[in-house]
Amino acid sequence: MATVVNNPTPARDTDSGMGFFVGLLVVIILAVLFFVYALPALRNSGSGGTNLNVPDRINVDVNQ
């Protein structure tokens, strides 16, 4: 009599590599946001911030 080996069917393989692509997409988005917002903010922080020139007196005389 022949020996029959009944192996269970393998579990459904859900590893399609999609996690890698989602992680790569998140890293790319974070890198773009860093270069667009954080890097210019870091560069401008060393220059002392925003400089405003406000005059001491403003002439509001409408009859000239």
Q: Secondary structure of the chain in the HEC alphabet?
A: CCCCCCCCCCCCCCCCCHHHHHHHHHHHHHHHHHHHHHHHHHHHHCCCCCCCCCCCCCCCCCCC
pLDDT along the chain (64 residues), means of 10: 81 77 96 90 68 85 79
pLDDT value at residue 29: 97
pTM above 0.85, yes or no: no
